[in-house]
Structures are given as structure tokens and as C-alpha cells.
């Protein structure tokens, strides 16, 4: 008596089922037109040049500059962070460290011809001893700006302006976007 070999039938069934599309699972042989157009689109790269300008009674006395390159859509967050971790005595004999310096976070997207950006900037420092008065613990001075705007390439865009409540100083954060590629 001859037995029928089940392997050719099984192989045929696997080939047949493997060629059928299953709901929720993209078929390997099918092209995804949205993905194909996304891959074909050239990558744009922009440089974001930030300037933190400090004025005293209307006269510019200081300007700090920070830059980062951004490829829209490739990172949810781009960040510049510069500063120090400063020890602070929280309780008698117990030290904690705080970040003091400059942090700039940016998210950037192309929306047609518009360049949409979201920026958060934080500048902190320890107050000068003459500003602290007679306090034994240091005073932490802080400036924060959070902004969402549409930028024009090549033109400075002011993201925010804040006044120092302890002096006649004013701080202005601006960004200039330049297309690199």
C-alpha cells in the first residue's frame, strides 16, 4: 500500500497562505505609497542660531549665542545644555546637587512652506554675594521662556522677552533659522 507524502501538500498550503494578505499585517509584496514618498523626499537640515540678549535700561550689555542643527521629523527633541551641578546643603550634613546654567530645548517641523518650532529655554545662576544680602544659603536666579512660533528662514524671530524683577535688566531670546540642506 502506498502512503501519500503530506510534505508537498503542506508546502503548497504554506505558499498559498503566505501570499494572502492578513488584516492588520502589511503584505511584504505590496508597496506603501506614503512610505515610498517619504523615503524619496530629500532630508532638510536647518541650523537654529539662538541669541540671548541682555540689556540694562535699554542698552545691550551682553549677548550669548548657541547653535544646533536640526533635521525636522527625525528627533522629537533637540537640546543644548551647558552648566554645572552645584552642591546645596538641603539638611544639616545632607547635600543635593542642582543644575545651574543654560538649557535650550527645541522641536522643529516643516509644515508646507512654514517652519513651525517649539522652544523651551532656561537660564539659571547663583546670585552675586552682594545680591544675596545676609542669607547663608545661596540664591538661585532663574529665567524661563517657552514659546511656539512660525519662523522665516534668514530672519531673526523673537521668542520671548522678560524683565529681571531685581534690576533694570531685560532678557530677549531670539532665533534665526538657516536652511543648510
Are the C-beta atoms of 121 and 101 separated by less than 8 Å? no
Q: What angle do CA 103, 106, 108 make, to 5 degrees?
A: 170
Alpha helices in the chain (DSSP H): 6-18, 33-40, 129-132
Across the range 73-79, mean pLDDT stands at: 78
pLDDT score of 135: 62
pLDDT score of 73: 74
pLDDT score of 82: 95
Across the range 97-105, mean pLDDT stands at: 93
pLDDT score of 66: 97
Are the C-beta atoms of 108 and 100 separated by less than 8 Å? no
* Cβ-proximal residues to 45 (8 Å cutoff; 6+ apart), any chain: 69, 70, 71, 179, 180, 181
Beginning with the edge strand found earlier in the chain, give each strand of the sheet holding 59-70 in spatial order: 59-70, 46-56, 169-179, 156-163
48 pLDDT more than 50:
yes
Are the C-beta atoms of 55 and 79 separated by less than 8 Å? no
pLDDT score of 136: 66
User: Model pTM greater than 0.75?
Assistant: no
Q: What angle do CA 167, 172, 178 make, to 5 degrees?
A: 160
Name the more confident of 52 and 28: 52
Q: Looking at residue 25, what DSSP letter applies?
A: B
pLDDT score of 24: 44
pLDDT band at 19 (very low <50, low <70, confident <90, very high): very low
pLDDT band at 37 (very low <50, low <70, confident <90, very high): low
pLDDT score of 20: 46
| Backbone torsion region of residue 93, taken as left when φ is above 0, otherwise alpha when ψ lies between -120 and 50, otherwise beta | left
Partners of 105 in beta bridges: 79, 120
Amino acid at each position: 500500500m502506498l502512503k501519500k507524502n503530506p510534505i508537498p501538500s503542506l508546502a503548497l498550503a504554506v505558499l498559498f497562505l503566505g501570499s494572502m494578505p492578513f488584516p492588520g499585517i502589511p503584505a511584504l509584496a505590496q508597496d506603501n505609497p506614503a512610505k515610498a514618498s517619504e523615503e524619496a523626499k530629500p532630508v532638510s537640515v536647518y541650523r537654529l542660531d539662538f541669541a540671548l540678549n541682555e540689556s540694562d535700561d535699554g542698552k545691550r550689555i551682553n549677548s550669548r549665542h548657541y547653535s544646533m542643527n536640526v533635521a525636522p521629523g527625525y528627533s522629537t527633541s533637540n537640546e543644548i545644555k551647558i552648566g554645572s551641578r552645584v552642591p546645596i546643603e538641603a539638611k544639616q550634613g545632607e547635600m543635593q546637587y542642582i543644575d545651574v546654567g543654560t538649557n535650550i530645548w527645541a522641536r522643529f517641523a516643516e509644515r508646507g512652506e512654514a517652519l513651525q518650532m517649539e522652544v523651551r529655554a532656561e537660564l539659571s545662576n547663583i546670585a552675586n554675594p552682594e545680591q544675596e544680602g545676609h542669607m547663608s544659603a545661596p540664591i538661585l536666579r532663574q529665567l524661563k521662556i517657552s514659546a511656539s512660533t512660525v519662523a522665516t528662514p534668514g530672519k531673526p524671530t523673537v521668542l520671548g522677552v522678560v524683565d529681571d524683577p531685581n534690576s533694570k535688566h531685560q532678557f530677549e531670546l531670539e532665533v534665526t533659522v538657516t536652511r543648510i540642506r
